[in-house]
Amino acid sequence: MSPEEFRKHAHEMVDWMADYLGSVEQYPVRSQARPGEIYGRLPETAPEMPESMADIFADFKRDVLPGITHWQHPSFFAYFPANSSPPSVLAEMLTSTLAAQCMLWQTSPAGTEMETRMMEWLRDMLGLPTDLHGVIQDSATSSTLAALLVAREKATGWRANDEGLAQLGAAGITPVVYVSEEAHSSIEKTMKVAGYGRDCLRKIASDDDFAMRVDLLEKAIEQDIADGFTPACITACIGGTGTGAVDPLRAIGEVARKHDIWLHVDAAWAGSALILPETRDMIDGVELADSFVFNPHKWLFTNFDCTAFYVRDPQALERTLSLVPEFLKSREADAVIDYQNWSVPLGRRFRALKLWFVIRSYGVSGLQDIIRKHIKLAEGLYAAVQAEADFEIISPLRLALFSFRYHPSGIEDETQLDDMNMQLLETLNDSGELYLTQNRVRGRYTIRFSIGQTGTEQHHIDNAWAKIQKTARTLGV
Amino acid sequence: MSPEEFRKHAHEMVDWMADYLGSVEQYPVRSQARPGEIYGRLPETAPEMPESMADIFADFKRDVLPGITHWQHPSFFAYFPANSSPPSVLAEMLTSTLAAQCMLWQTSPAGTEMETRMMEWLRDMLGLPTDLHGVIQDSATSSTLAALLVAREKATGWRANDEGLAQLGAAGITPVVYVSEEAHSSIEKTMKVAGYGRDCLRKIASDDDFAMRVDLLEKAIEQDIADGFTPACITACIGGTGTGAVDPLRAIGEVARKHDIWLHVDAAWAGSALILPETRDMIDGVELADSFVFNPHKWLFTNFDCTAFYVRDPQALERTLSLVPEFLKSREADAVIDYQNWSVPLGRRFRALKLWFVIRSYGVSGLQDIIRKHIKLAEGLYAAVQAEADFEIISPLRLALFSFRYHPSGIEDETQLDDMNMQLLETLNDSGELYLTQNRVRGRYTIRFSIGQTGTEQHHIDNAWAKIQKTARTLGV
């Protein structure tokens, strides 16, 4: 395909893209495709001869679109958002055209240096301590993995990377990690990946607000020390996935300092809201943290993937992850950052560009306006749900997240309530009018309501709430 | 930014993108920016108020472009290619517009099901065994990490994920891994990440062709068993980064089967060339492999990131990496694939779409034509370098990679030769006319020549070779 043919096709696609952005509400939020349906539409084998872009694009519209769940639909209230924005898409267009691989400074100085600047911008926008140094990663999971690895190295006297955990275990060193029971499953996953093992993850019970109980944390650490384990890391959760739980960071940080344990803060979703000064009581004590992660690709209008991972001591991170064979050496290495030494994968896209486009295009005040609007929408909906006698709040409003269930009077059997709400959720999602996710809170099946789509307005919330009430009350109960 | 404003800006960018694709040769291949130069052009703090896209785009062209190393330049001969193509960029435009997060089948059935199909297409295009099941990962490093993790679980009786390696080590179980000394540094990195430790990586010496010596592999395994270690994985290298080394897969596979050790094949770069039937002697014995990885984002005209990772037993992979909390459960889970269970990160872009665009747009025959051309160009250049008395081949041609050094008669001091070639490389790269990477082969500093850019033609090779000869001979020797 020549540059001129590309120009022609790309203009056609831009028109479709602009139309899509303007008409996304016409699609069902969650794809209505059945298992195997899209697979069945795609040929079993690759074509031997070239096919025209007109055919490919037509097939995209006919065969692929029905299998898309529209994450950018303003009635997407499932999971957490992975919101995007027009300036972010523009940047992605340029990024994919340059197709630079930014593993080293030399392989695109602008990739590295803009990343450094954008991480500084974000750090300051969130009110994080100025001695934190950031890097863009693919996911919060990968960042938490990196944190657990540095913590592992530090706690074992920098021996685990070389000797391996098995040999350290034989020498009586078994590192352990602490999280709240409300923490994200990714921490359990990274415990497996990093070789700690799930049995070495201490899940600390939470209080009535779903926040980690620091008295139990301290007790667990002391017990582990007495039993000969090596406390390596505490992961504090700011805005947990299930209930938006916020752990008491300062108190946890003081325990971490006292015992010289790495403190990692997982604010994957809630971190973006920290651009609002009025939310920053959530991270009181953050100056005690050793690392901090949040996802601009969740709630800051920047295409996935874009995770911001901060560490206070980048040398410790590099010492943990760096490996520079001859063909990755460069003469500037001492004067620059080679971000491949800050993450597990070697290859890196030019991901800073979309942050630059988004932050400049909206301005900090513009970004604040949208997140404030989301929180205000959530407050209004939360009050509306509270006001209805046959609905029950299960976890309180945190920023723009809460969970509830339908609970008509006279039904007290928990299994029956679970089944009823499961049916409610599936019916709502099957309607295509909105998309919600379930959770279990202290054993009870609940429905999460998470607001954060770029284009969500009051009427989307009103429509969703009307649909929820009507569907619940006609479930045949 | 409204959809109509987006439309206007996106059309402007498309014109720039098409111009860029047509004029990339006008830029220096490797950025000429000095350390800190781009950083210094970016303001210290984020703008409070919105800025116009016209300003942002103008700044992109003025401040960012000089800091880009042009990976899509046809005179890019460094590292391995990370080549792209117009159809791939078109697909990335759509992907970023949909901005679907394909972690679960339900979160975009088309993302999952097209990924399954594309992995089948690629598997068959490469002539891989039909009982391999594929998943798209971000990098070969992450895929090798996944392989080492399954191998770790299998070798420890599925205990490491739960108990952790330290507790297994205390119980006398220490898993070890085998690679050739020519293998990529990523394997050493993943040894650290997965908790094995570098000391548990056995680097097996290679023969004169840089291929792993199977006699030494078997000896090492037997010694480890005698010493009480647990052999977990052998990683065979097909097309190593340094010299393009190809390990004897069948012989290694037989050793792996005999000792029931997981066999992982790293064909990150060379894998794409397997779409040419004439190259498949490289993977004779691949039916003995448990996992296989290659990077379409290197040499198959598909934007980074796009790594194809295959396993024979996906249940083993899922058993190793799956973790499904309540909010990730879905009613279809038993009937579909949720690819988040096949990789470390939870979030996933819709990466299959660009493969679908590229394979259909070129057709298999079109892709074969370009790779055959690259190999032919490399053969011609290799013969030309061999023919010059003052140049020395250091590692033989493998597909489209070889390494050489300038070695004028009368100079036999190795340090002097190293310095001279270092100076040659830096001078060439500083010229902006081409971009090459160094390596060390058996202690000697060498220059790698790697051909694989989408647009590379005979005259780019001719110009590069003329430039190399002229520069070398005027180094002041």
Tell me phi and psi for residue B116, to 5 degrees: -60, -45
> What pLDDT shows up at residue A185?
84
The answer to whether the CB atoms of A90 and B53 lie below 8 A apart is: yes
pLDDT digits (tens, 9 = 90+) for B173-183: 999 999 999 88
Q: Does A117 reside within a domain?
A: yes
Same domain, B314 and B391: no
Last residue of a domain, one of B317, B349, B381: B349
The answer to whether the CB atoms of A71 and B366 lie below 8 A apart is: no
Better-predicted residue by pLDDT, A333 or A27: A27
Partner residue opposite B364 with nearest CB, options A47, A140, A196: A47
> Number of C-alpha atoms within 13 angstroms, CB side, residue A337?
22
Strands B201-204 and B230-237: unpaired
- A449 vs A401: CA distance, rounded Å: 6
B199 token code pair: 């000391």
> What pLDDT shows up at residue A323?
83
The predicted complex's ipTM stands at: 0.97
> What pLDDT shows up at residue A325?
80
> What pLDDT shows up at residue A462?
98
Q: Does A63 reside within a domain?
A: no
Decide if pLDDT at A426 tops 90. Answer: yes
The answer to whether the CB atoms of A200 and B10 lie below 8 A apart is: no
- Tell me: cis bond preceding A55? Omega within 30 of 0 counts: no
The amino acid occupying position B192 is: K
pLDDT digits (tens, 9 = 90+) for B257-281: 999 999 999 999 999 999 999 999 9
> Number of C-alpha atoms within 13 angstroms, CB side, residue B339?
31
By C-alpha distance, the chain B residue nearest A453 is: B99
Same domain, B458 and B403: yes
- B289 vs B151: CA distance, rounded Å: 12
The answer to whether the CB atoms of B71 and A101 lie below 8 A apart is: yes
Q: SS3 helix, strand, coil % of chain A, rounded to 5? A: 50, 15, 35
Q: Among A39, A66, A78, which residue's Cα sits nearest to residue A436? A: A78
By C-alpha distance, the chain B residue nearest A365 is: B48
Which chain B residues are within 8 Å of A109, Cβ to Cβ? Answer: 31, 33, 35, 37-38, 67, 69
- CATH code for the domain of A272: 3.40.640.10
Q: Could you give the C-alpha distances from A291 to A94, A217, A431, B187, in angstroms and in order? A: 31, 19, 42, 26
Cβ B352 vs Cβ B115: under 8 Å: yes
The answer to whether the CB atoms of B195 and A164 lie below 8 A apart is: yes
Partner residue opposite B13 with nearest CB, options A90, A321, A335: A90
Same domain, B145 and B280: yes
- A364 vs A23: CA distance, rounded Å: 27
B477 token code pair: 């020797």
The answer to whether the CB atoms of A56 and B114 lie below 8 A apart is: no
Which chain A residues are within 8 Å of B168, Cβ to Cβ? Answer: 166, 169
Same domain, B236 and B199: yes
Mutation pick from A5, A6, A182 vs chain B, by most beta carbons of B within 10 Å, is: A6
Partner residue opposite A7 with nearest CB, options B18, B87, B160: B18
Cβ B169 vs Cβ B191: under 8 Å: no
Which chain B residues are within 8 Å of A69, Cβ to Cβ? Answer: 100, 106-109
- B59 vs A71: CA distance, rounded Å: 31
Instruction: Give the predicted TM-score (pTM) of the model.
Output: 0.97
Which chain B residues are within 8 Å of A36, Cβ to Cβ? Answer: 113, 335
The answer to whether the CB atoms of B105 and A66 lie below 8 A apart is: no
Same domain, A319 and A457: no
Decide if pLDDT at A477 tops 80. Answer: no
**Measured at the alpha carbon of residue B317, what is the angle toward residues A40 and A151, in degrees to the nearest 5?**
130
Decide if pLDDT at B414 tops 60. Answer: yes
Partner residue opposite B327 with nearest CB, options A48, A124, A241: A241
> What pLDDT shows up at residue B379?
98
**A30: DSSP letter:** S
- B318 vs A300: CA distance, rounded Å: 31
- A407 vs A446: CA distance, rounded Å: 11
Mutation pick from B158, B344, B419 vs chain A, by most beta carbons of A within 10 Å, is: B344
CA pseudo-torsion sign B225, B228, B229, B230 = positive
How close B325 comes to chain A (CA, Å)?
Answer: 6
> What pLDDT shows up at residue A476?
62
Which chain A residues are within 8 Å of B172, Cβ to Cβ? Answer: 170
Q: Among A425, A180, A117, A298, which residue's Cα sits nearest to residue B41? A: A117
Element (H, E) at A72: none
Residues B10-22 have a mean pLDDT of 98
Q: Among B223, B220, B265, B269, which residue's Cα sits nearest to residue B247? A: B265
Q: At A329, is the pLDDT very low, low, confident or very high (cuts 50, 70, 90)?
A: confident
By C-alpha distance, the chain A residue nearest B1 is: A86
Average pLDDT of the residues of chain A: 96
Q: Is A430 exposed, middle or buried (0-12, 13-18, 19+ CB in 10 A)?
A: exposed
Partner residue opposite B162 with nearest CB, options A86, A110, A197: A197
> Number of C-alpha atoms within 13 angstroms, CB side, residue A174?
25
Q: Does B427 reside within a domain?
A: yes
Average pLDDT of the residues of chain B: 96
Three-class SS state of A182: coil
How close B64 comes to chain A (CA, Å)?
Answer: 6
Partner residue opposite A67 with nearest CB, options B63, B108, B164: B108
What 3 state SS string does chain B have?
A: CCHHHHHHHHHHHHHHHHHHHHHHHHCCCCCCCCCCHHHHHCCCCCCCCCCCHHHHHHHHHHHHHHHCCCCCCCCECCCCCCCCCHHHHHHHHHHHHHCCCCCCCCCCHHHHHHHHHHHHHHHHHHCCCCCCEEEEECCHHHHHHHHHHHHHHHHCCCCHHHHCHHHHHHCCCCEEEEEECCCCHHHHHHHHHCCCCHHHEEEECECCCCCECHHHHHHHHHHHHHCCCEEEEEEEEECCCCCCCECCHHHHHHHHHHHCCEEEEECCCHHHHHHCHHHHHHHCCHHHCCEEEECHHHHCCCCCCCEEEEECCHHHHHHHHCCCCHHHCCCCCCCCCCHHHHCCCCCCCCCHHHHHHHHHHHHHHHHHHHHHHHHHHHHHHHHHHHHCCCEEEEEEEECCEEEEEECCCCCCCHHHHHHHHHHHHHHHHHHCCCECEEEEECCEEEEEEECCCCCCCHHHHHHHHHHHHHHHHCCCC
- A200 vs A174: CA distance, rounded Å: 8
pLDDT digits (tens, 9 = 90+) for B230-242: 999 999 999 999 8
Maximum separation of any 2 CA atoms in chain A, in Å: 75
Instruction: Tally the domains of chain B.
Output: 2
Q: Does A388 reside within a domain?
A: yes
Same domain, A217 and A307: yes
Q: Does B190 reside within a domain?
A: yes
Give A401's strand partners. Answer: A398, A450
Residue pointed to by tokens 């070129």:
B362
Give B416's strand partners. Answer: none
- B275 vs B270: CA distance, rounded Å: 10
pLDDT digits (tens, 9 = 90+) for A171-204: 999 999 999 998 878 899 999 999 999 999 999 9
The answer to whether the CB atoms of A327 and B192 lie below 8 A apart is: no
A298 token code pair: 């969740």
Same domain, A320 and A187: yes
- A391 vs A402: CA distance, rounded Å: 13
- CATH code for the domain of A18: 3.90.1150.170
> What pLDDT shows up at residue A178?
98
Decide if pLDDT at B476 tops 70. Answer: no
Which chain B residues are within 8 Å of A199, Cβ to Cβ? Answer: 162-164, 167
Decide if pLDDT at A73 tops 90. Answer: yes
Same domain, B424 and B287: no
Last residue of a domain, one of A293, A315, A349: A349
Which chain B residues are within 8 Å of A98, Cβ to Cβ? Answer: 20, 68, 70-72
Maximum separation of any 2 CA atoms in chain B, in Å: 75
The answer to whether the CB atoms of B35 and A332 lie below 8 A apart is: yes
Decide if pLDDT at B357 tops 80. Answer: yes
Q: Does A93 reside within a domain?
A: no
Which chain B residues are within 8 Å of A421, Cβ to Cβ? Answer: none
Q: Does A312 reside within a domain?
A: yes
Same domain, B377 and B334: no
Same domain, A243 and A266: yes
Q: At B197, is the pLDDT very low, low, confident or very high (cuts 50, 70, 90)?
A: very high
By C-alpha distance, the chain B residue nearest A36 is: B113
The answer to whether the CB atoms of A89 and B359 lie below 8 A apart is: no
Same domain, A238 and A134: yes
Which chain B residues are within 8 Å of A79, Cβ to Cβ? Answer: 101, 107, 327
* All residues at 6 or more sequence positions from A387 whose CB lies less than 8 Å from its CB, including other chains: none
Mutation pick from A20, A65, A107, A191 vs chain B, by most beta carbons of B within 10 Å, is: A107
Same domain, A338 and A421: no
**Domain range enclosing A195:** 101-349
pLDDT digits (tens, 9 = 90+) for B126-164: 999 999 999 999 999 999 999 999 999 999 999 999 999
How close A220 comes to chain B (CA, Å)?
Answer: 18
Three-class SS state of A80: coil
Decide if pLDDT at A442 tops 70. Answer: yes
Last residue of a domain, one of A349, A378, A401: A349
Q: Does B53 reside within a domain?
A: no
Give A235's strand partners. Answer: A179, A264
How close A210 comes to chain B (CA, Å)?
Answer: 16
> What pLDDT shows up at residue B324?
81
A254 token code pair: 């003081």
% of residues, chain A, pLDDT over 90: 95
How close B143 comes to chain A (CA, Å)?
Answer: 10
How close B247 comes to chain A (CA, Å)?
Answer: 20
A316 token code pair: 């410790």
The amino acid occupying position A346 is: L
